[in-house]
Amino acid sequence: MALLVATASLLLASIGATSDDPAPSEILIVPIEGTIGADVTVEGLSTALKLTDQRPIETVFVEIDAQTGDLDVGSELARLIAGLPDRIRVIGLLKRVGGASLPVAWACDEWMVQDKISIRVPDPRGGMTDRLLGPDRVVVQTLPRFASSGPALSEELSHLREACQAVAATDRSSLLKALTVPGVAIAIRSEAPEASVVAGQGPGLRGDQLVTLGLARMTGGDVAIALEDLDLHEDASLGDTGALLIDAAADERLAQRGRLGNRIDSLFSSLDGVASLTAGASWSLARARLSNPESPRLASQFPMRWTPQGWTIDDAALPAWKSACRDSIRRWSGVVELLATVDTLLTRAETILAEIAAMSPTPLDAARRTAAMTTATQAIETYRRTIETFEGVPMEAQREIGRVEALLEQPPILPNQE
């Protein structure tokens, strides 16, 4: 990715160079393909369109093959295109258009439809194969975002309509109504004068129907063929420059999403550790307190014998006594380590949470980041309150460890009773 970004930067610098010779008219090709907001970003298109300020670009070819993504991002992409100087001719080469890419298409001055496109589809063996679609394929569809109710769907359609109206480069109002206003459709005359085909929100419009309506021209191939059809083949094309700049920004956005995902995973990994440790903290403390070798519970394991110096643990029981002392020290040390680890993990979680709060999420990730931060904040507060109930335990543990270490070093001797 770093190499791609660096290459894009060098391209910008090199193609921005000037010479004394008059420069021929140039054509910029920008692909709007994949998922709007992920595969195509505002940053990427903005960088590509800045070339129109640096070069004698008179035509921008917008290749559109996108039906999913964020409508707000699609609207911003459309505003960038609509904001180009009037001297620039913007041609939309439509492959498949719908949803978030509709405003982008509406921002183009004119439309062309590629007569054939190839798409990847599943094959019977579970793999993928190519399928060729002709001019009778559906090219323009409404494809609003999922809505859970009728009013919500109406609102989505309204947003689509307003986004297209805001950037409309030419009058396509009838088509827009058919796509976004329930009950409105377009009647397309077929070969028989008395017959017509109705197309609206559901089926959308095929490529040949767009041509019949006079909304688009058909072209027999890719951009190169389209340029010949428009008598623009003598203009200099900037090739893949636009695609490279858009891809570079998309790669950076993908990396940004990856960084956010990584931090969220790390955040909840820390909190999962805290949850596991705190769930067993009370029992660990209880077992440490039960492990006192001087406890009456264990008294029968350490018989005592008389010596002139006093009563002491019988030699045969000394190994068991020392084992009990070591077990008690281990358990109290485990409690100290557990509480210290919980504090470390909570501090780490708080640090990561602050990092996530400082990130600027993509539109696709905004809700995920908010949910992660809300959940984590509540969890951290709960765990902090839990740990407060163990406030005096570390000091208790240190006292017990010191006492039992002394018992391990020197088993108790009780004075002889007269």
198 beta partners: 187
Between the CA of residue 173 and those of 94, 162, 210, 257, what are the distances in Å? 18, 11, 14, 37
Domains in the chain: ranges and CATH: 2-239 (3.90.226.10), 258-414 (no CATH)
Q: What is the dihedral of CA 32, 35, 36, 38, to 10 degrees?
A: -110
Report the candidate in 111, 104, 117 with the shortest Cα–Cα distance to residue 37: 104
Q: What is the pLDDT of residue 9?
A: 41
Give the global pTM.
0.67
The pair of structure tokens assigned to 379 is 């969890």
Q: Where are the beta strands (DSSP E) in 330-398?
A: none
Q: What is the pLDDT of residue 324?
A: 93
For residues 107 and 117, what is the distance between their CA atoms, to the nearest angstrom? Answer: 23
Residues of the chain with pLDDT under 70: 1-24, 189-203, 233-243, 249-251, 417-418
How far is residue 417 CA from its own chain's centroid? 78
Would you say 69 and 51 are in contact if contact means Cβ atoms under 8 Å apart? no
Query: Distance between terminal CA atoms of the chain?
Result: 88
The pair of structure tokens assigned to 79 is 């505003």
Q: What is the pLDDT of residue 374?
A: 95
User: Which residue's entry shows tokens 């297209």?
Assistant: 164
pLDDT digits (tens, 9 = 90+) for 234-261: 555 556 666 677 777 666 777 777 888 8
Q: What is the pLDDT of residue 5?
A: 36
Q: What is the pLDDT of residue 4?
A: 36
What Rg do the C-alpha atoms of the chain give, in angstroms?
Answer: 36
For residues 383 and 26, what is the distance between their CA atoms, to the nearest angstrom? Answer: 63
Q: What is the pLDDT of residue 184?
A: 80
120 φ, ψ (degrees, to nearest 5): -95, 130
199 beta partners: 186
CB atoms closer than 10 angstroms to residue 187:
11
Q: What is the pLDDT of residue 19?
A: 46
Between the CA of residue 326 and those of 59, 301, 321, 411, 413, what are the distances in Å? 83, 15, 9, 13, 19
**DSSP SS3 for 72:** helix
Q: What is the pLDDT of residue 251?
A: 67
Q: How many CA atoms lie within 13 A of 343 on its CB side?
A: 11
Q: Which residues have C-beta within 8 Å of that of residue 187, sequence separation ≥ 6?
A: 196, 197, 198
206 beta partners: 138
Report the candidate in 223, 224, 237, 250 with the shortest Cα–Cα distance to residue 8: 250
Longest dimension (CA), the chain: 130
For residues 42 and 168, what is the distance between their CA atoms, to the nearest angstrom? Answer: 19
Q: Which residues have C-beta within 8 Å of that of residue 169, sequence separation ≥ 6?
A: 82, 90, 106, 107, 108, 109
For residues 16 and 349, what is the distance between their CA atoms, to the nearest angstrom? Answer: 47
For residues 204 and 179, what is the distance between their CA atoms, to the nearest angstrom? Answer: 7
